[in-house]
Amino acid sequence: DAGVIQSPRHEVTEMGQEVTLRCKPISGHNSLFWYRQTMMRGLELLIYFNNNVPIDDSGMPEDRFSAKMPNASFSTLKIQPSEPRDSAVYFCASSLSLDEQFFGPGTRLTVL
């Protein structure tokens, strides 16, 4: 298994632009998580899905952030419009039910 796949690995964009991060979970896993990692706040859960349904989005910082999971093998995290304070590493993770979570390599986002 290739593990959790995230794309792009690096993204540099200008303030105000739309950013879309992509994640492919491990095949067979039914839970998917989006995390953000910053120096100031460490790792924080943004949102998670169970069986493609958003369960808890209380960690999503603002309405500028949205996440979708149209099917069991794909999820997106969108920021529109992006701001410099959104610069961080965004991780996607997947798990089978309540088992341990497996993390992707992350997307390093820089908003200028």
Partner 1 sequence: KQEVTQIPAALSVPEGENLVLNCSFTDSAIYNLQWFRQDPGKGLTSLLLIQSSQREQTSGRLNASLDKSSGRSTLYIAASQPGDSATYLCAVETGANNLFFGTGTRLTVIP
On the CB side of 79, CA atoms within 13 Å amount to 26
* Least separation in angstroms between CB 16 and partner 1: 27
* Residue 62 CB neighbours (<10 A): 8
Whichever of 54 and 81 has its CB closer to partner 1, that residue is 54
Q: Which residues bind partner 1 (CB under 8 A)?
A: 4, 31, 33, 35, 42-45, 48, 50, 55-56, 91, 93, 95, 98, 100-106, 108
For the chain, the straight-line distance linking the first and the last C-alpha, in angstroms and rounded, comes to: 36
Whichever of 104 and 111 has its CB closer to partner 1, that residue is 104
* Structure-token match 């952030």, residue found: 65
